[in-house]
Structure formats: structure tokens, C-alpha cells
Copies of this chain bind each other. A is one copy, B any other.
Amino acid sequence: MSLIVQKFGGSSVANADRIKNVASRVARYYEEGHSLVVVVSALGDTTDELVDLSGQITKNPSRREMDMLLSTGEQISVALLAMALHELKCGAISFTGAQVGIRTDSSFTKARIVDISTDRIRKELKANKVVIVAGFQGTSSDHEITTLGRGGSDLTAVALAKALDADACEIYTDVEGIYTTDPRLVKDARKIARISYEEMLELASSGAQVMQSRSIEVAGKFDIPIHVRSSFSLNQGTWIVKEDKSMEDVLIRGVSLSKNEAKLTLSGVPNRPGVAAKIFKTLADAGINVDMIIQNIGKSTDTDISFTVPRSDAESAVQALKKIAHETGFKGISQDPNIAKVSVVGIGMRSHTGVAAAMFEILAKHKINIEMISTSEIKISCVVKKKDAEKAVKALHDGFKLSGKK
């Protein structure tokens, strides 16, 4: 029988009934004789409620205390799931990240796992118990409680699968798997049976929200197959695996959409060396991630520079840049939140030419203007007006023949 790590997200354990539902599923595997390590997130909105509570007290909470606060969410879930399993006469024991030996560095709110000591888990598995582990959290070498950042429970699951040399790592969610695009936008979006780590990573970082990027990276690094599937059905979901030859036959694996970016434009930027460097170093120092950049070389003395940043960082980017306006000599700064980024992803691009041209042609045919473009080896992204975003996704999904009807 195999050792399986299963991870259930917040929506899968949103209330007592859903926790019982998860328990039934886990118990079914247990009865089949599998060894199970179950990672759970906080109940539904618990994390948001705790964040809200802290917001009533301070706008600028200490990151250490934030971890102390937020880690309670998962602790509640594991205890309740253990009770639900006991109710089904299924041996089970719950653990916090600290108890189970998930060691991290001391970067509160975004700690990195440095080591997992599996002694306690193995002991309980040997005693025929389902081991339930609080996701998202760990403990530093000086016994501080840390958390792994948004989506950190995925990382807990993948890291445990690696540490325990598990046979499978299942990520349970409220959708049936990874789709060729968001099924809420495109009705005939198709569930993907197998996707490579690299493709999944590009989809996740360009808007698909099914799994945390870092956990995909780690799974890829250690070649841990991930099965993303629904906690409400027994259907096969999507396997995230190492790429193989056959995967290259598919040109485009999926289309993603991100509406969480804003475009900033600096006008009248002096055309001399060091100015662009100064601008982007300022943003980096402020901890702001810049995604796409374009520069119009039109006039001889100055130019315009546009770039995108996460929408939540747009205002601080403007503030940071205003401080160096004098020094760098740019004339104006404007922001446009009404943009969206559509991306097509597929490892088939590596061996096929003309994908970018095809993409631009599809968008042109639908009269959608492209404001910015960026490409990687297996991804092409275009910034368009937000009002055109969904039309663009549909057009690309259709144009690249990704629909279920084939």
C-alpha cells in the first residue's frame, strides 16, 4: 500500500459539514490500507477574519505577531479534522507545524522550509494513524512560529511528500483540476490531464490561482508528481509532472488572465545612461516587483517608459518615484489600472515557430489592441485594456483550438 500526502484547501474545510466530507474521503483511503498524511488549510474565511481583527488594532502589524496570529487558523482545522476522523472510527492525530518538525528560517510571513524531521510522523503512521498536519506554518530554530506565505499549505504538502518519499501528493481544491482557461470565463474550457511543472509555473505566475508557485517549483525540483483534484468528486483531476516528449506536441497548454496589475508611465525621461537603472533600482528597493517594461525611443532628448506592477503596489511605486523625480529629471508620471494581462503557455512553443504571430493575429482579428508584450521560452503575454480582457481570453482559447469540442 502506498504513502499518500493529501492537502485540503480552505474551501474544502469551510465548515463542519465540509470537514466531515473531507474526513469521509480520507477514511475511504485509510480503509483501503494507505498510509496518509493530510495537510489542511484554515477554515474558509478564518485567515481573512484574523487579518481583519489585526487591522482593527494596527495598520502595520509586526510580522512575527502576524504569524503567531495566523497560524491559529490551521491549528483549528487540524484538531477538527482529527475529531471528524475519530467519529468515523479512523485513527488520527493532529500536529502543528512546530510539533511535526517543519523547520524554517526566520523570515516571518514568508519563511522558507529548511528541514523536516519525519520521526514523529513515521512513528504515528506505524501506529496506523492518519497524521494531520497544519499547513502554512513551521518553526524557526529558536522556536518562533513562522508562516510560509499565501498558499503555503501547498508547499507544506509538497515538502512533506518529498521528506517522506511519498508515492503521491494530492492537492484537493474546489475545482476539478487545471483547465485550459478559467471555466467561469470560457464555458468549453477543458480539464488538462497532464501538464509539466514548467507550464504550470508559468500559468500560476500569469494568473491561474490553483496552486502556489513556490510549491510547483519545489515539486519540479524533486520530481514529485502532483495530482490536483476536487474534494467534492472522485474524478481524476490534473497531474502535474515532469515534461516528456509527447507534451511538446501540444502547442498551447492553456490561456491565463491576470487583472491584478497596473500600468505606470513615466513621461519625458531624459535619454541618458543610468536614468532607467536608477528608476528600477528605486522600485526594487521599495520591494515592488516590476513585470513588463517598454520604452519608446522617439525623440533624441527624452523618452517615455511604461511598466506594470501589482495593482496593490501602484500607489507606493508612484510615491517612491516622485521622490527621485528631481534627480532623474523625468517630467510626468501617470497610472492606468484599467489593464489586464492575457498569456498563452505551452512547452510546444519551444519547437514551433510563429506562435507569437498567431497570437497577435487572433487579437487583431477581434480588434483588441496590444499595449505591451513580453515573452519567455514557453509563454507569451500581452497587456490589453481591461474591458477587452475576457474577449481576448475567449478569442485565444478558441483560436488555438483549446476547447473541449475536438
Contacts and interface: CB of A to CB of B under 8 A. Distances in A.
Interface of A: 16, 19-20, 50, 53-54, 56-58, 61-62, 64-66, 68-69, 71-72, 75-76, 78-80, 82-84, 86-87, 93-94, 96, 98-99, 143-145
Protomer copies: 2
B80 A62 contact: no
A317 to B, nearest CB: 27
B96 A83 contact: no
Given A57-B87, A87-B57, A96-B145, A76 B50 contact: yes
A54 B80 CA distance: 6
A93 B144 CA distance: 11
B72 A58 contact: no
A-side binding surface: helix, strand, loop or mixed? helix
Contacts of A80: 53-54, 57, 65, 69
Given A96-B145, A145-B96, A82 B68 contact: yes
CB-based closest 10 A-B pairs: A16-B56, A69-B79, A72-B72, A68-B79, A58-B87, A65-B82, A65-B79, A58-B83, A61-B83, A57-B83
Nearest to A94: B68
A98 B16 CA distance: 28
Contacts of A98: 98
A84 B69 contact: no
A57 B94 contact: no
26 contacts: A16-B53, A16-B56, A16-B57, A20-B57, A50-B76, A53-B80, A54-B80, A54-B83, A57-B83, A57-B84, A58-B84, A61-B83, A61-B86, A62-B83, A62-B86, A64-B93, A65-B83, A68-B78, A68-B94, A69-B80, A72-B72, A72-B75, A72-B76, A75-B75, A99-B144, A99-B145
